[in-house]
Amino acid sequence: MGFNYALEKKKFDTHWALKKKVYRKAGMAAADIQLMKDFDWEFFLSERRFRMHTQPLPAECITENDEDSMSGLFKKFDSLKVTFSESDFSGRYGWVETIEDEELSRKLKALSIKDMELITLMVIDEYSQAEIARMDGCARNTVNKKLARIKKVLMEG
């Protein structure tokens, strides 16, 4: 993600020229105005550093044939490349087979079908607790309690 320093600095200076007038008109001391400007300047520099050193990951699906449109991070670090296909799963709860932590996988397999469905709705289908509560005809708090109980079972060691 680029950062056009000259353009952004010009915007910052223009914005602060207006702010300075407003603050002076309101009777604010020059030293206090300068402190506020210094604070905003530090934030400006922090934002610049962040934007200069951050690359967004592409939202679209990338295939091996898409090398040209691939983010530089994916080109440099093969470990970032992940393939995923729903055909990798055998059935609705096949995702449990992909869990590498053997103990966690064992505990997940021991859960009831209702608990597995709740986790699948949250993690795989990406439903919110409120949406699940509406589908089940219960309160959101009930879903939250079920998730807390499942978490407790999975965390027991």
Q: Which of residues 53, 80, 107 is at a domain's end?
A: 80
Task: Give me the chain's average pLDDT, please.
Answer: 84
pLDDT of residue 39: 96
Report residue 77: phi and psi, to 5°. -120, 100
Q: Are residues 37 and 96 in the same domain?
A: no
Does residue 132 lie within any of the structural domains? yes
pLDDT at site 59: 57
State residue 15's pLDDT score. Answer: 96
8 burial (CB, 10 Å; 0-12 / 13-18 / 19+) is middle
Residues 105 and 151 in one domain: yes
Mean pLDDT of 126-146: 91
62, 116: one domain:
no
Domain containing 123 equals 90-155
Asked whether the predicted pLDDT for residue 65 surpasses 80, the reply is no
pLDDT exceeds cutoff 90 at 93: no
Q: What is the mean pLDDT of residues 57-68?
A: 58
The model's pTM = 0.47
- Looking at residue 131, its pLDDT comes to 92
Q: Are residues 94 and 74 in the same domain?
A: no
Q: Indicate whether 73 and 37 sit together in one domain.
A: yes
Read off the pLDDT of residues 112-133 as tens digits, 9 standing for 90 and up. Answer: 999 999 998 988 888 999 999 9
Instruction: Output the pLDDT for position 157.
Output: 61
CATH number at residue 147: 1.10.10.10
Predicted local confidence at residue 63, as pLDDT? 57
Angle at 4 between CA 3 and CA 7, to 5 degrees: 140
CB-based contacts of 7, cutoff 8 Å, min separation 6: none
> How many domains are contained in the chain?
2
CA distance 11 to 13: 6
pLDDT digits (tens, 9 = 90+) for 8-49: 999 999 999 999 999 999 999 999 999 999 999 999 999 999
Classify each residue of 32-44 as buried b or exposed e, where b means 16 or more C-beta atoms within 10 Å of its C-beta.
ebeeebeeeeeeb
- In this prediction, residues 51-67 reach a mean pLDDT of 64
